[in-house]
């Protein structure tokens, strides 16, 4: 697999975005925002890999959704979203189902985000990887504060 030079335009994991989520006053999980660290947007179907690790624990893809353009998608839908475009200036929200949410305090979020660059064909790669791959991965330690959804850092 051929990788495109990494261009760190923005942090992949967005500052001040980690919050617990509630429905009917019951904590059902947490969410945070991510951005593309690149100079152009991509169709969601170009996502080769999207994995999340929180505090050293890998999140099962069945326990998270990807939200963009006022829509919410399962991880299984991502390869088929050929008309959903992720604009380079837009933050996407990753929601994680976890009945306990996160405790107040700092949490380390690691996101592996690899995107297929459909406009960069690389001859000689394997049939599954004929295109260069953009590494837009990143990690950050964020603070979650449960009281009234306030957050910082």
Q: What is the 3-state secondary structure (H, E, C) of 59-126?
A: CCHHHEEEEECCEEEEHHHHHHCCCCEECCCCCEEEEEECCCCCCCEEEEEEEEEEEEEEEEECCCCC
For residue range 54-66, list pLDDT tens digits in order: 999 999 999 999 9
SS3 content of the chain, % helix, strand, coil (to 5): 10, 50, 40
pTM of the prediction? 0.83
Q: What is the pLDDT of residue 31?
A: 96
Q: Give the bridge partners for 71, in sequence order.
A: 68
Q: What is the pLDDT of residues 31-77, one digit of tens each?
A: 999 998 877 788 999 898 999 999 999 999 999 999 999 999 999 99
């Amino acid at each position: 697999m051929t990788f495109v030079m990494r261009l760190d335009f923005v942090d992949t994991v967005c500052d001040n975005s980690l919050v617990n989520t509630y429905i009917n006053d019951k904590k059902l999980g947490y969410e945070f925002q991510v951005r593309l660290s690149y100079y152009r947007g991509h169709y969601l179907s170009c996502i080769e890999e999207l994995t999340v690790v929180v505090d050293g624990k890998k999140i099962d893809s069945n326990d998270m959704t990807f939200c963009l353009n006022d829509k919410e998608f399962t991880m299984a839908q991502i390869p088929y979203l050929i008309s959903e475009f992720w604009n380079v200036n837009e933050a996407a929200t990753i929601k994680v189902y976890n009945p306990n949410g996160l405790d107040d305090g700092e949490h380390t979020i690691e996101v592996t985000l690899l995107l297929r660059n459909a406009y960069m064909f690389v001859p000689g790669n394997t049939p599954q990887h004929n295109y260069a791959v953009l590494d837009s991965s990143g990690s950050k330690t964020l603070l979650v504060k449960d009281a009234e959804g306030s957050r910082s850092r």
